């Protein structure tokens, strides 16, 4: 381990482990310990801003639960009792584990034994004294929430006061097809958001960028209408987290993507706040 950790370096191999990697996270505001369920670089979506090289369509592979446990025990001990912070030149005020985040190189809820993995991580992090001080975060596109194992995993997440960061990069079917290459319908989106919000604390994570009609004025209005509908249906989203692209995409559209500027992000944030939502902006 010799590389420096920065908010623009999310190298999954930086720790030399299969499942565990450290990240300086913009949204977490410090050290996030990432857990990668998709070391095969497989995902059921293909987001145009995705920084995973050699991304392929598919599901997470079979989990080696013994290896996951060994790596997590080792790394939590290394951070808390070893020279991790010194070796990576982490400033004193950032020497704290902000969260354990299940994210990685694809959709984590596609793991066959998803609920078992959530339970194992929760038990280890509690035993190592990381929970409940640090957060337990799942970053997901929410597309598989209708599955029983995913719902059981969200219930496990709630047991450890965890939270789901539900990816929503467009409030329209056309926008999701353009940005995420998915045919997710509006009906399914609303159903899955309701299931998620009923099972665990749910936040919405939205990447703003410019590509063709992505995040046009009509897209912004559709997004605000969706938030209004969620509020009216009493589907409780705890927070809206807006951000833009900060790292190199490895998708064919990469050269055509433009980062959203802070002024337009703050403008949308103000409109969201006016609807009664808590909102954050990370450019």
Distance CA 216, CA 198 (A): 31
Q: Dihedral of CA 30/52/190/229: which sign?
A: positive
| pLDDT score of 91 | 82
Distance CA 183, CA 175 (A): 10
Asked if residue 8 belongs to a domain, the reply is no
Asked if residue 11 belongs to a domain, the reply is no
Distance CA 192, CA 175 (A): 18
Asked if residue 12 belongs to a domain, the reply is no
Asked if residue 143 belongs to a domain, the reply is yes
**Residue 148 is part of a domain; what is its CATH number?**
3.20.20.70
CA proximity to 245, closest of 237, 257, 227:
257
| pLDDT score of 50 | 95
Asked if residue 232 belongs to a domain, the reply is yes
Exposed/middle/buried for 105, CB within 10 Å: 0-12, 13-18, 19+? buried
| pLDDT score of 179 | 97
Helices and strands, number each (H, E), in the chain: 8, 11
DSSP conformation class of 109? G
211 lies in which domain range? 20-282
| pLDDT score of 92 | 83
Asked if residue 15 belongs to a domain, the reply is no
Distance CA 157, CA 161 (A): 7
* 205 in Cβ contact with 166 (< 8 Å): yes
State the total domains in the chain.
1
DSSP conformation class of 82? S
Structure tokens at 170: 């467009």
Asked if residue 185 belongs to a domain, the reply is yes
Asked if residue 3 belongs to a domain, the reply is no
Q: How far is residue 116 from each of residues 44, 97, 128, 150, 157, measured CA to CA in Å? A: 21, 23, 18, 10, 11
* 51 in Cβ contact with 249 (< 8 Å): yes
Tens digit of each residue's pLDDT, the chain (283 residues): 445 544 444 445 566 899 999 988 766 667 899 999 999 999 999 999 999 999 999 999 999 999 999 999 999 999 999 999 888 888 888 888 999 999 889 999 999 999 999 999 999 999 999 999 999 999 999 999 999 999 999 999 999 999 999 999 999 999 999 999 999 999 999 999 999 999 999 999 999 999 999 999 999 999 999 999 999 999 999 999 999 998 899 999 999 999 999 999 999 999 999 999 999 998 7
């Amino acid at each position: 381990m010799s590389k420096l950790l920065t908010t623009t370096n999310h190298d999954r191999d930086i720790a030399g482990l299969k499942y565990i990697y450290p990240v300086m996270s913009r949204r977490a505001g410090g050290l996030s310990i990432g857990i990668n369920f998709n070391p095969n670089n497989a995902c059921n979506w293909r987001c145009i801003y995705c920084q995973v090289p050699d991304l392929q369509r598919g599901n997470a592979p079979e989990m080696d639960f013994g290896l996951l446990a060994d790596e997590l025990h080792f790394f939590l001990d290394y951070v808390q009792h070893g020279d991790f912070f010194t070796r990576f030149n982490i400033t004193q005020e950032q020497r704290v584990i902000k969260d354990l985040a299940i994210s990685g190189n694809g959709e984590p809820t596609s793991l066959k034994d998803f609920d078992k993995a959530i339970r194992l991580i929760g038990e280890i992090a509690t035993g190592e004294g990381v929970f409940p001080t640090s957060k337990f975060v799942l970053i997901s596109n929410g597309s598989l929430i209708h599955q029983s194992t995913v719902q059981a995993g969200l219930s496990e997440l709630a047991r450890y006061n965890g939270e789901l960061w539900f990816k929503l990069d467009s409030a329209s079917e056309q926008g999701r097809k353009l940005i995420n290459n998915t045919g997710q319908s509006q009906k399914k989106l609303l159903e899955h958001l309701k299931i998620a919000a009923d099972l665990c604390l749910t936040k919405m994570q939205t990447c703003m960028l410019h590509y063709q009609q992505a995040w046009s004025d009509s897209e912004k209005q559709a997004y605000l209408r969706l938030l209004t509908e969620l509020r009216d249906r009493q589907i409780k989203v705890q927070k809206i987290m807006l951000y833009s692209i900060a790292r190199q995409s490895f998708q064919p559209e990469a050269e055509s993507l433009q980062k959203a500027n802070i002024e337009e992000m703050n403008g949308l944030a103000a409109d969201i706040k006016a609807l009664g939502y808590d909102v954050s902006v990370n450019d």
